[in-house]
Amino acid sequence: MRRAKVLLGFAALGIFWGAWGAALPAVQRSSGASDAQLGLALLLVGFGALLSMRGTGVLLDHLGPRLTPVSVALFGLTGVLPALAGSPLQLCAVLFVIGATSGAMDVAINADAVREEAASGRPLLNVAHASFSAAVVAGSLGTGLLRWAGAGPGLVFTLTAVLVLAAAVAMRAPAPWQPPDRELRPRFFDRVPGWLLALGVLGALAFWIESAWQNWGSVQLERTLEAAPETSALAPALFAAAMAVGRLAGNRLLARWSERRLLVGGALVSALGTALGAAADTAPLALTGIVVAGAGCSVLAPTIISVAGRAARPQERATIVGSVTTLMYLGFLVGPAAVGGLAQLETLRISLGAVALLALVLAILCAVVRLPGPHRPG
């Protein structure tokens, strides 16, 4: 039952972001935002998340998993806001708030997954992130059908918010939790250990590669290869589907492989796929590269979060998860902008080729960086 609730939380988050991606053109039109204004608004999603993540982790270690359904419900309530944005300024404010509540929910559900892994001794993070990726695909396709039927942002985000709130209700009555002694509880301004910084850097590079294809995959097909819009739209959908399948496979591989082997293998596969997607001269070949890159990227972030969570003391697991995800989100902020900047100076093909080199560097780092072992009492 506890594992099912964890998976439900990840699915609820994925449903919203899948719907968001598919409804984004309609939201831009209704808010009257230009491309530059929309870019600024999207950047504020990441800033909102960064500001809320570590604080949420500290609160979770003080209040326990009963805070998780509250964070899910809060995110659900803010999920209707994009439909109400009637100006670029309102859109910026809305996306900052959604980023903050999304970041809080992200930390809460990842912390619950880490706790469940520690309690059961069985891997869960890759399956949980697979449920997120699958829900992104479902939310995107469902929103596409709603828009095809004539639905506007109001109906799309109302339905999405209802689904997220229903998940919050289903996730109530969390697992029993014993609060730690007051002197053992983590503080917001505690020193960040070196091993956590190292994992955060690895995770930021992983998110950099992932966000590069999520944001630029369809542009690579449509602009570089002159593919039709319906073909270029396959890029993010196939990437998300490959992420879901890869994470399920990664969860099974952990029964035989170490985390280090999975991380190195995933980074190498993502480097191969990214190089193929960047160098391809036809749309089918580029889509093949995007699928391979998605399969390789898929196992990186959940495995890094799992390693960080299991290395933490039980009374600080949520704080550690909040800290490592904060560092990792820097990759989501920097990655797309860096790809765009280099593409402006050179070409998008060269810029994505540089991402392939970055994936190769990540594989080398995963092979040599010391990974912390599970926490041992005493």
Q: Which residues contact 256 (CB under 8 A, 6 or more apart)?
A: none
pLDDT of residue 378: 55
Distance of alpha carbon 263 from alpha carbon 299, whole angstroms: 7
- 271 pLDDT above the threshold of 70: yes
CA distances to 48, 101, 227 from 92, rounded to whole Å, are: 11, 14, 32
Q: How many CB atoms lie within 10 A of CB 35?
A: 8
Distance of alpha carbon 57 from alpha carbon 222, whole angstroms: 41
Write out the residue limits of the CATH 1.20.1250.20 domain(s) in the chain: 1-170, 192-378
Query: Higher-confidence residue: 335 or 265?
Result: 265
Contact 283, 225 (CB under 8 A): yes
Q: Which CATH superfamily is domain 192-378 in?
A: MFS general substrate transporter like domains (1.20.1250.20)
pLDDT of residue 71: 94
Quote the tokens at residue 374: 């599970």
Give the tens place of pLDDT for each residue, 194-233: 889 999 999 999 999 998 888 788 878 888 888 877 777 7
DSSP 8-state assignment for residue 82:
G
Give the tens place of pLDDT for each residue, 84-108: 998 999 999 999 999 999 999 999 9
pLDDT of residue 99: 92
Query: Higher-confidence residue: 54 or 163?
Result: 163
Distance of alpha carbon 276 from alpha carbon 253, whole angstroms: 25
Question: What does the DSSP assignment read for 164-211?
Answer: HHHHHHHT-S-----PPPGGGS--TTPPPPHHHHHHHHHHHHHHHHHH
pLDDT of residue 26: 84
What is the amino acid identity at position 8? L
Question: Which residue, 368, 344, 348, is CA-closest to 356?
Answer: 348
Class of the CATH domain delimited by 1-170: mainly alpha
- 181 pLDDT above the threshold of 70: no
Mean pLDDT of the region 261-276: 96
Quote the tokens at residue 356: 């392939």
- 236 pLDDT above the threshold of 70: yes
| Confidence band for 142, pLDDT divided at 50, 70 and 90 | confident
Quick one: 188 exposed, middle or buried, by C-beta within 10 A (0-12, 13-18, 19+)?
A: exposed
Q: What residue spans of the chain are helical by DSSP H? A: 2-31, 35-63, 67-78, 88-120, 125-148, 153-170, 194-219, 229-232, 234-253, 259-279, 283-298, 300-311, 317-345, 348-368
Contact 125, 7 (CB under 8 A): no
Contact 102, 45 (CB under 8 A): yes
Question: Which residue, 152, 64, 138, is CA-closest to 108?
Answer: 64
pLDDT of residue 116: 87
Mean pLDDT of the region 133-153: 86
* Burial state string for 320-347 with b = 16 or more CB within 10 A and e = fewer than 16: bbbbbbbbbbbbbbebbebbbebbeeee
Q: Which residues contact 27 (CB under 8 A, 6 or more apart)?
A: 20, 82, 83, 85, 91, 153
- 19 pLDDT above the threshold of 90: no
